[in-house]
Structure 1
Amino acid sequence: MLRSRIIPCLLVKNKGLVKTVNFKDPKYVGDPINAVKIFNEKLVDELVVLDIDASKDNREPDYKMIENLATECRMPFCYGGGIKTVEQAVKISNLGVEKVALSSSALENPMLISEIASAIGRQSVVVVLDVKKTLFGGYDCYVYNGTKKVKGDLVELAKKAQQLGAGEIVVNSIDNDGKMAGYDHKLIRIIRAAIDIPLTVLGGAGSLSDIKSVIDEHKIIGVAAGSLFVFKGTYKAVLINYPSVEDKKSLNKC
């Protein structure tokens, strides 16, 4: 039976694992390889790793880091950050990475989505939409860690990504990033209604009940989280954690 995927999302900066709030003030929390080893033991559904500075700094993906992560990783692995060409995507795929995530490159050069999908398969192409609320209740899409607004309607951007060959959309709430105060269900509904391909949502998880509320309302969906699986307790002590098998079964009961 199909069920929702519960996905840790790790942010990497200068090879270290970091956490942000509203895409700002990255706080170092450890070694990503150690986190992957722990997630292996916890039977994680899937893992997303995003190099948050690669595209902003206009540098290539760190292939050695990616190879090390892919070698260690025993669950489906999605990598994003700095991918601007088909050749880079193919190289990363050949390192054992199941999915490549595109953000600024896909929005600035949409045909890259089709080109990469042709090279490594549509199911391996993820387009990430980083989204911020407007003053009037709508949403705008941003790139480069939320510093540059993208022209165009959010719904049309999502539809175009699907039409061009994206196999999955990740929608990430900049407003909710690191706040641990719940997901933006309105945003999820808007994107869910616009596309037919798998959707993963990110930004705001503070408890397993937040994840359950997304699954209960939106049914089969990818539910990603960063802080929830890295921090523990009121004072946010660093502790890599993930729902038990029984907890995952409970979360998927709608």
Structure 2
Amino acid sequence: MLKKRLIGVVTVKEGIAVQSFGYRRYLPLGKPECLVENLDRWCADEILIQVIDRSITNIEPDFQLIEKLGKLGLETPLIYAGGVRSVADGVKLIQLGADRIVFDALLRDDLLVIKDLSEQLGAQALIASIPLSVGANKLEWLDYRKHSLTSISEEILDLIREKTISEILITDWKHEGLSGGFDRQIIDNFPLKNIPIIAFGGIDNLNQAKLLLELSNVAAVAVGNYFSYREHAIQAYKEILTCQSVRPPIYKSQFSLIANLND
């Protein structure tokens, strides 16, 4: 796995790629596969497909979407998030083309399923999603189904310590979709210091991304909205990365995201 990575994020709601603002307001962008193909062409290190209306309505993962993406001949590894409820769900997603899977609701619903998934697929295929914010001088974990905030339990921290999963996707949910919004305090206050973190939410500033990537426990930054309208944004990000193992930027000005979305 790459030491430091840049992950492009495509957020999907009701089958349409959307620009998200704090997971409360959405602007439609078009077909998910169009955005994915551009992220692949522009050499993102991974692509995260997060289908945000699955777990909240207790619907199975969007197998049709991941199968369609798996047939595109992409060079970039795909990460899938949304609706994973069982070992069977996780295995099927990998079989259809996902390289790794993300889960959130399972952390609250059934830790045994996560352990079984780790045994079946390996910890490297699993990412725990923990949307966080800072309040009253402590970290607060968002339960997006109940719209409530809790602390991260020791049981979950123990699961992570056991290396059952490979990485944690930490989303600054309060600042998701806001320019320059990611709150560094979330990383600083996270209780586990030796688990690789993917930072996501409000990251659209090159210097901001660089500072996050310089943190020893941040393995990647994930960016969504910023890449939707700015051709060569990935290349600009890559040019500030100092890690030599990251794929170099590639410029192909004849390809335009907006043009593809309008096809």
**TM-score bracket for this pair, using the shorter chain length:** 0.7 to 0.9
**Amino acid in structure 1 at the alignment position of 2:170:** V
Structure 2 Cα separation of the partners of residues 242 and 159 of structure 1: 38
1:133 to partner: Cα distance? 2.7
* TM-score, normalised with respect to structure 1: 0.86
RMSD of aligned residue pairs (Cα, Å)? 2.4
Structure 2 Cα separation of the partners of residues 250 and 89 of structure 1: 35
Give the corresponding residue for 2:30: 30
Q: 1:182 to 1:150 in 2, by over 3 A?
A: closer
1:211 to 191, 196, 209: 209
1:250 to 226, 240, 258: 240
Secondary structure of the 1:179 match is coil
Give the corresponding residue for 1:169: 168
More contact order relative to length (CA 8 Å, sep ≥ 6) = 2
Give the corresponding residue for 2:197: 199
Deviations 1:68-117 (A, max 9, x none): 12222321111010000000100001112110100012222122211111
C-alpha contact 1:155 1:190 (8 A) present in aligned 2:
no
Structure 2 Cα separation of the partners of residues 75 and 13 of structure 1: 22
1:243 to partner: Cα distance? 2.4
Secondary structure of the 2:162 match is helix
- The aligned length equals 243
Give the corresponding residue for 1:42: 42
C-alpha contact 1:20 1:178 (8 A) present in aligned 2:
yes
**Amino acid in structure 2 at the alignment position of 1:70:** G
Which blocks of at least 5 consecutive residues in structure 2 are unaligned? 245-263
Structure 2 Cα separation of the partners of residues 155 and 252 of structure 1: 35
Which has the higher mean CA deviation after the structures are superposed, 196-205 or 78-87? Answer: 196-205
Secondary structure of the 1:20 match is strand
State percent identity of aligned pairs: 22
Which has the higher mean CA deviation after the structures are superposed, 69-78 or 122-131? Answer: 69-78
Structure 1 Cα separation of the partners of residues 46 and 214 of structure 2: 20
Structure 1 Cα separation of the partners of residues 28 and 2 of structure 2: 36
Give the corresponding residue for 1:153: 152
Structure 1 Cα separation of the partners of residues 86 and 134 of structure 2: 30
Q: Which runs of 4+ in 1 moved over 4 A?
A: none
1:209 to partner: Cα distance? 1.9
Structure 2 Cα separation of the partners of residues 2 and 13 of structure 1: 29
1:189 to partner: Cα distance? 2.1
Structure 2 Cα separation of the partners of residues 157 and 23 of structure 1: 24
Give the corresponding residue for 2:248: none
Structure 2 Cα separation of the partners of residues 228 and 143 of structure 1: 26
Structure 2 Cα separation of the partners of residues 247 and 161 of structure 1: 30
Which blocks of at least 5 consecutive residues in structure 1 are unaligned? 233-239
Q: 1:211 to 1:175 in 2, by over 3 A?
A: same
Give the corresponding residue for 1:5: 5
* TM-score, normalised with respect to structure 2: 0.83
C-alpha contact 1:133 1:175 (8 A) present in aligned 2:
no
1:20 to partner: Cα distance? 1.7
